Amino acid sequence: MDLPVEEWQSHVHRRWLQLQPSVQTSFSRTDADALWEIVLHCSALLQPEDEELLQRLAEGYTVEKDPDAYLFYKEEGNREFQKKAYKAAAILYSKGTCHAKPNTQEMSLCFANRSAAFFHLAQYETCLEDIGRAQMHGYPEGLWPKLMLRKAECLMALGRRQEAALTLCDLEQNVSAQQAGTEALQRRLSHLKIRVQEDPDPAQAHPISLAQTSKEACPKAKNNWIPNASSSVSLCSDPSRGRYLVATEDILPGELLVKEEAFVSVLNPGETSWLRSDPGAKWNCRVTTGDLHCHRCLKPVWATIPCQGCSYARYCSQQCMQQAWECYHRTECSLGGTLLALGVFCHVALRTVLLAGLEVVGKLVKTFQGTVNAQGRTPVETPDVPAILRRDQTNSLSKMPIPGCDKDGTYQSAYYALFHLLPHTKKHSPEHKFLCGLSVLALCKKLGEAAQPSPWATQGPCEPKAEMSGPSAWAVAMLRHVLQLHCNAQGVTALQETASEGDLITERRQVRLATGFFPVISLLNHSCRPNTSLSFRGSVGIIQASRLIAQGEEILHCYGPHECRMDVTTRQQKLRSQYFFDCHCQACQNEEVCPVSTAPKPSGFRCPSCKAALQGDDFLCCDNRTCTASASRAQLEHQVQDLQQQVKAALELLRDDRSAQAIQLLLGCQQDAENFLSSEHMLMGEIEDHLAQAYASLGDWSRSAAHLQKSLLVVEARHGPASVELGHELFKLAQVLFNGFAVSKALCAIEKAEKVLSIHYDPENEQMQELQQMKACLLDETGLV
């Protein structure tokens, strides 16, 4: 996904092995001119066979509009609509719009059908928008009455009675003029006219929702030195840590520290969702993140608007589509297959330089020289950066150039700061640099052929290094960004619903939605025991304090390896391989002082005889000295794998609406697990969680809640009492108790969920909003205040 497809990587590997040792050695350079030399070498080494292979790989992706695909998705959408699976139908109609040409009957019919799906989902505003789009793209006049009736019904549902009356009046005149309309149409028209006269006041019919009245979360005070950051933080720099943020005052849990929109982000396409199907196979109906999010702002959206030139890009609004086209998609549109073949990192690199502009890119490439620091996120000294005065958290001044800051000492949350992130030229292997360099040069070659007008139409061929302009500057900058992304890419995540349509309990899992550059968030160093939590609202990253942060303490973020998920050895290996540093955070220091051999962690297994804990490495013995039971770790792990397979089979039964059978299988798994797993083992928690889901599907809310309570104990023991994982589990418990109308218990669960989730999410978060709505509903029903 991040790197090019496997076939391209294998091809480049073979090319690497064929290079002379002296040429391979040239990719080991680490001085300031290293990236320029890589570009020169790859430019000379790029062969027609490389371009032919890339073209073939690009053609393997379905990004062009296909009228047969339009028909397929429209018909599949109709089938789902007939089954009353309106969400699925809406998504399939959206897929159909991506393959229909603009201003055609095909496009208008897809929008009209999608409007019907949204009408049945009670998404009336969205339905009205799709009705307007259907009309704009040439909806057949003979079918207008049906569409206008739907419009009038939407307006009535929204309490816009006057607009509904005007729509019905226009419809009545149209039908009379054409002497058209069936008896059923006339009945519906008469019925709606009566409703318009009898319906209550619009204000009562369409109350304002909580979501509409929520305030946008912002830092409590503006930071004059770091844009998008709270005044509670300050930028510092030293040779060992590079740039980093510290607290200028005591910071409370949940306090908003940074709210930053990505300088650039690219939606992750998924591993196979855009691969061309076999000739005899149908198109892919699987729903991907790209079907449910805007490709520019990453906002979740069902009613997507497709790009007019390709079937890949889609947007939440006409405004987003226009902005994307003007800023970068004008160039990317015809390169869709090539970008998918070369991977997300190449795509992010291209979009970054397109957003920055040729003039800015050329200037920075010409002047920049970099150095390396220990943690590898940002350089400390750079000759082209003016020697500014750095203002620290105590408001004292010290002379130290901080890369990414302007001459006044203000950090620039823009391309200038992004460009100063380290590419780690010294740490990447020569072969990896060859892969990245050849990929970038191949993309630049395609870019010159495809772009209209070409970004370097007036520049000519690669010019001498002294000039550093035109395509050479773009290639060097793109290579730099591809290498930077290895350490500085920020995965944008989102909570994706996994429950079936119509389920009352929402199952969500965190998925990687996109990859982007966040100049301010990149200032945070890593800790395996962080004091912040990172969440996203579309392409906006939000950093909140996850615990009390004392004045002068460094603001720390987890890059992935967390002490709750991995032991110290595994964490260090992952950080060393991806980020090129050894972690010396408090969690790692504590574990290194007290290694596993002297302070063993529970194995998660327990004695089947006396239920005491089993301890050991390859061979485990009972912790109870009076018991002689023992077992091999391999045997116990094999039992765990068998149980996991049974749990997987139970989930398949749940998806097929065979809840009773799923419950029987899960209860058997629970009984088997209790024989040899500790009560805090993650599999125990998963079984309890799935049992809760199964009982909820049958409407047995009390049993569902009982199993969730057991799951909560496992999650809290594993992740901690203030963890986001516990917050998600509390949210599910609140939903179960709400649906079971256990008022006092539901209100208690809602309060606990809000307390935990408010540390990790801003008030605009969907779960926070739903908790507020559940609370308001319960208080309203009971008359409590």
Neighbours of 460 (CB within 10 A): 10
The whole-angstrom separation of Cα 229 and Cα 417 is 15
Residue 220 confidence (pLDDT) above 80: no
Residue 521 confidence (pLDDT) above 50: yes
Per-residue pLDDT at 192: 72
**pLDDT-derived band at 460, boundaries 50, 70, 90:** very low
CA distances from 40 to 23, 45, 423, 660, 691 (A): 12, 9, 18, 66, 60
Residue 76 sits in the same domain as residue 191: yes
Q: Out of 505-509, 561-565, 724-728, pick the least confident.
A: 505-509
- Domain-embedded: residue 492: no
Per-residue pLDDT at 449: 65
The whole-angstrom separation of Cα 552 and Cα 753 is 30
Contact between residue 97 and residue 304 where contact means Cβ atoms under 8 Å apart: yes
Domain end call among 197, 219, 248: 197
Per-residue pLDDT at 719: 86
Residue 365 confidence (pLDDT) above 60: yes
User: Which residues on neighbouring strands pair with residue 710, listed in sequence order?
Assistant: none
- Domain-embedded: residue 499: no
**pLDDT-derived band at 176, boundaries 50, 70, 90:** low
Residue 145 sits in the same domain as residue 115: yes
CA distances from 364 to 38, 358, 368, 409, 477 (A): 18, 10, 6, 18, 9
DSSP annotation string for 681-729 = -HHHHHHHHHHHHHHHHTT-HHHHHHHHHHHHHHHHHHH-TT-HHHHHH
User: Which residues on neighbouring strands pair with residue 161, listed in sequence order?
Assistant: none
Q: Residue 61 gets which letter from DSSP?
A: B
Number of folded domains in the chain?
4
What range does the domain containing 475 cover? 24-50+285-374+415-451+471-486
Q: Average the pLDDT over 216-230 and give the result.
A: 82
Q: Average the pLDDT over 689-709 and give the result.
A: 93
Residue 564 confidence (pLDDT) above 90: no
- Domain-embedded: residue 404: no
Nearest of 661, 651, 723 to residue 687 by alpha carbon: 651
Residue 479 confidence (pLDDT) above 70: yes
Per-residue pLDDT at 386: 33
Q: In the numeric block, which tokens belong to residue 350? A: 């291209």
Contact between residue 476 and residue 39 where contact means Cβ atoms under 8 Å apart: yes
The whole-angstrom separation of Cα 198 and Cα 196 is 6
Contact between residue 268 and residue 276 where contact means Cβ atoms under 8 Å apart: no
Contact between residue 253 and residue 546 where contact means Cβ atoms under 8 Å apart: yes
DSSP annotation string for 603-664 = -SBB-TTT-PBEEESSEEEESSTT---EEEHHHHHHHHHHHHHHHHHHHHHHHTT-HHHHHH
Residue 346 sits in the same domain as residue 476: yes
The whole-angstrom separation of Cα 524 and Cα 226 is 13
**pLDDT-derived band at 462, boundaries 50, 70, 90:** very low
Query: With helix as H, strand as E and coil as C, how does 286-303 read?
Result: CCCHHHHECCCCCCECCC
**pLDDT-derived band at 669, boundaries 50, 70, 90:** very high
Contact between residue 573 and residue 646 where contact means Cβ atoms under 8 Å apart: no
Per-residue pLDDT at 377: 44
* Strands 619-622 and 389-391, sheet pairing: unpaired
Per-residue pLDDT at 638: 92
Residue 426 sits in the same domain as residue 568: no
CA distances from 511 to 36, 270, 281, 727 (A): 36, 11, 28, 17
pLDDT digits (tens, 9 = 90+) for 400-455: 567 788 877 888 768 988 998 889 899 999 999 999 999 999 999 998 765 444 44
Per-residue pLDDT at 188: 72
Q: Residue 328 gets which letter from DSSP?
A: I
HSE-up (13 A, CA, CB side) for residue 212 = 4
Neighbours of 32 (CB within 10 A): 13
pLDDT above 70 coverage of the chain, percent? 83
Q: What is the mean pLDDT of the chain?
A: 84
pLDDT digits (tens, 9 = 90+) for 591-640: 766 554 444 455 688 888 888 888 888 888 888 888 888 888 888 899 99
Instruction: CATH number of the domain at 742, please.
Output: 1.25.40.10
The whole-angstrom separation of Cα 260 and Cα 278 is 43
Contact between residue 492 and residue 265 where contact means Cβ atoms under 8 Å apart: yes
Per-residue pLDDT at 198: 66
**pLDDT-derived band at 643, boundaries 50, 70, 90:** very high
Residue 367 sits in the same domain as residue 341: yes
Quote the longest CA-to-CA distance of the chain: 96
Residue 557 sits in the same domain as residue 429: no
pLDDT above 90 coverage of the chain, percent? 54
Per-residue pLDDT at 632: 87
pLDDT digits (tens, 9 = 90+) for 306-337: 999 999 999 999 999 999 999 999 999 999 99
Give every CB contact of residue 200 below 8 A, 6+ residues apart in sequence: none
Per-residue pLDDT at 182: 64
Residue 510 confidence (pLDDT) above 60: yes
Residue 752 confidence (pLDDT) above 50: yes
The whole-angstrom separation of Cα 260 and Cα 536 is 10
Residue 292 sits in the same domain as residue 351: yes
Higher pLDDT, 55 or 462: 55
Q: Cα–Cα–Cα angle for 189, 191, 194, nearest 5°?
A: 110
Domain end call among 197, 224, 242: 197
- Domain-embedded: residue 389: no
Per-residue pLDDT at 142: 82
**pLDDT-derived band at 465, boundaries 50, 70, 90:** very low
Count the residues in the chain. 785
Residue 71 sits in the same domain as residue 158: yes
Higher pLDDT, 353 or 273: 353
Neighbours of 106 (CB within 10 A): 18
Q: Average the pLDDT over 122-151 and give the result.
A: 92
Q: Residue 277 gets which letter from DSSP?
A: P
pLDDT digits (tens, 9 = 90+) for 575-585: 998 888 899 99
Residue 98 sits in the same domain as residue 36: no
Residue 101 confidence (pLDDT) above 70: yes
Per-residue pLDDT at 468: 41
Give every CB contact of residue 304 below 8 A, 6+ residues apart in sequence: 94, 97, 98, 291, 294, 314, 315, 316
Q: Out of 178-187, 368-377, 658-667, 714-723, pick the least confident.
A: 368-377
The whole-angstrom separation of Cα 637 and Cα 641 is 6
Domain end call among 593, 609, 626: 593
- Domain-embedded: residue 280: no
**pLDDT-derived band at 507, boundaries 50, 70, 90:** low
Residue 397 confidence (pLDDT) above 70: no
Q: Average the pLDDT over 154-172 and give the result.
A: 88
Instruction: CATH number of the domain at 249, please.
Output: 2.170.270.10
Residue 84 sits in the same domain as residue 180: yes
**pLDDT-derived band at 392, boundaries 50, 70, 90:** very low
Per-residue pLDDT at 382: 37
- Domain-embedded: residue 500: no
Residue 582 sits in the same domain as residue 658: no
Residue 391 confidence (pLDDT) above 50: no
Q: Average the pLDDT over 380-404 and give the result.
A: 45
- Domain-embedded: residue 690: yes
- Domain-embedded: residue 336: yes
Per-residue pLDDT at 595: 52
Q: In the numeric block, which tokens belong to residue 762? A: 């801003």
Residue 387 confidence (pLDDT) above 80: no
CA distances from 398 to 309, 371, 378 (A): 54, 21, 19
Q: Is the peptide bond before 202 cis (omega within 30 degrees of 0)?
A: no
HSE-up (13 A, CA, CB side) for residue 479 = 32
Residue 390 confidence (pLDDT) above 60: no
Say what the pTM is: 0.83
Residue 437 sits in the same domain as residue 311: yes
Higher pLDDT, 209 or 46: 46
Q: Average the pLDDT over 361-366 and give the result.
A: 86
